Amino acid sequence: MPLNLAVLISGSGSNLQCIIDRVASGALHADIRLVVSNRPEAFGLERARKAGIPTVVLPHGNYLDREDFDRALIAAIRDHGADAVAMAGFMRMVTPMFLQTFPGRVLNIHPALLPSFPGTHGQRDAAEYGVRIAGCSVHFVDEGMDSGPIIIQAAVPAFPTDNGETLGARILTMEHRIYPQALQWLSEGRLSAQGRKVFVAPAARSKAFIGEPGEYMVFPPLEEGF
């Protein structure tokens, strides 16, 4: 059974694109049932339309409060038959009500090595801080800001000459590797969390690890196809 997935976006949607591409390559067993944006101008909506995926636009300004917005979001997700959610550059917090509707099935990608640099400018904050190793994290979403249990992280080098854009571009290449992998683990039912610790169960049939790509470090290791 593929993962019946809703992807939530607010902008460019390059992570959405990599999810679409991994589904097309057969590595990610998911059916992207819909793409939801809270911004009508999000380029990711174009990517979805091009891939033949239904889109829903919910301009957040049209709703009274977060719960009101999340009720509409839940209805759209359910109406399209999705029961798992990938937040992919979705610049909004979701309510406890939303999380209770899809328990253990809401993932987010963040452009920093959490718990460092949560929030909306992780790449810029890391560059300005002067870190020498930056990266990205995929985590289960909880009620806090980028604070849920971490599933996979990838590290990239950071240079003193970096700014948010140059560092962000380097981080983004690894976001595109680790997010589809984490979603495939979810699809295969291999993820479990005990408190803050996330366990990835071994694959049913053996899968080769592809190891560290170049100078980057990814842990747990990526498997074939990602």
Q: Of 70, 125, 162, 175, which one interacts with ligand GAR (CB under 6 A)?
A: 175
Angstrom distance (rounded) from CA 36 to CA 56: 5
Q: φ, ψ for residue 6 (rounded to 5)?
A: -110, 130
Q: Is 110 a catalytic residue?
A: yes
163 marked as binding residue: no
Q: Which of residues 101-130 bind ligand GAR (CB under 6 A)?
A: 109-111, 120, 122
The CA-CA-CA angle for residues 74, 122, 183, to 5°, reads 45
Nearer to ligand GAR, 122 or 203 (CB): 122
Q: Which residues make Cβ contacts (< 8 Å) with residue 11, sequence separation at least 6?
A: 39, 42, 43, 44, 89, 91
Stretch binding ligand GAR (CB under 6 A), from 8-16, 180-188, 190-198, 211-219: 8-16
Nearer to ligand GAR, 110 or 177 (CB): 110
Asked if residue 190 lies in contact with residue 220, where contact means CB atoms within 8 angstroms, the answer is: no
The residue among 69, 56, 105, 108 whose CA lies nearest residue 87 is: 108
Q: Of 23, 73, 158, 172, which one interacts with ligand GAR (CB under 6 A)?
A: 172
Contacts with ligand GAR, residue ranges (CB under 6 A): 9, 11-15, 44, 88-89, 109-111, 120, 122, 146, 172, 175
Q: Which positions are annotated as active-site residues? A: 110
